[in-house]
Amino acid sequence: MVLAIVKKELRETRVFAVLALGLYLIYLSKLTGHWGRPLSSIFAWVPGMNEEPPDVPFVEGQFVTILFFIGAALAITLGFRQSAWEPSQGTAQYLLHLPLARRTIFLTKLTTGISLLLGCTLLPILIYAIWAAMPATHAGPFEWSMTVPAFQVWLLMPLAYLGAFASGIRPARWYGSRLLPLFSVAVAGSLVAALAQWWLIALLILLLVAAVLVSDILWEVETRDF
C-alpha cells in the first residue's frame, strides 16, 4: 500500500522534476561550453544564460544562485502540489480511506517529495563538479571544497518544500495566515545561510526547523476534518 502511494506521488509530480532537470541541464551546457546555436537563440533571454563560462567553477559565476532559484521553485511547487491539490480535487478523502494511518500516508508523501527534490537538485551539482574535476576542461583550479556553498543550498531545499507543504495543508482562508509556514521558512533559511559556523550550528538549526515543520504537518493532518 505504501509503495502504491509512492508510485502515485511520483506519477503526479514527475513533470515538475523533469522540467527542473531540463533547466539545470540547459544551464550546465552553457557552463561547460556545450552551448549550441539553437539553445543560444532560444534561451538567451533567461537570466544567467548570457554570461561567459567562469574560469573557476563554483567560485565564479552564478551556479549557486541558479541552483537555488530553480530548486526553490521546484520545492514550493512540489509542496503545494502534494498538499493543497488533494483537498481541492477531492482525492484527500480517497487517500484517508485507505487502510493506513494518516501519519503513515502523509509521511510517505513527505518522504517521496523530499527524495525527489533532493535527487533533482543533487544531480546538477555532481555533474558540474565531476566535469570541473576532469583535466583540461577549464582554465582555473578546482577543489571539491569549492562545492560547499552548493551543498549548503542543497540542504536548505527541504525547508522550502516543508514550508510549502505546511502552507498547503492549512485550512485558513486568509492567504497571509495560510502562507505563514512558508514565510517563516524564508526567514529561518536566510538566518541559517548567514551563520558562519554552518556545519556546527546552522545544520542543527535546519534540522530543528524541519522537525518542527514535520510535526506541524502531522498534527494538522491528524486533527483536520477533510
Q: What is the pLDDT of residues 78-132, one digit of tens each?
A: 999 998 877 666 666 666 667 778 888 889 999 999 999 999 999 999 999 999 8
Q: How many domains does the chain have?
A: 1
Q: What is the pLDDT of residue 163?
A: 93
Q: What is the pTM of this model?
A: 0.88
- Measured CA to CA in angstroms, residue 141 lies from 71, 130, 144 at distances of 27, 13, 10
Which residues of the chain carry a pLDDT beneath 70?
A: 34-52, 87-97, 172-177, 196, 225-226
Q: What is the pLDDT of residue 202?
A: 81
Residue 222 to residue 12: CA distance in whole angstroms: 23
Q: Which residue range forms the structural domain that includes residue 111?
A: 2-223
Q: What is the pLDDT of residue 112?
A: 95
Q: What is the pLDDT of residue 44?
A: 57
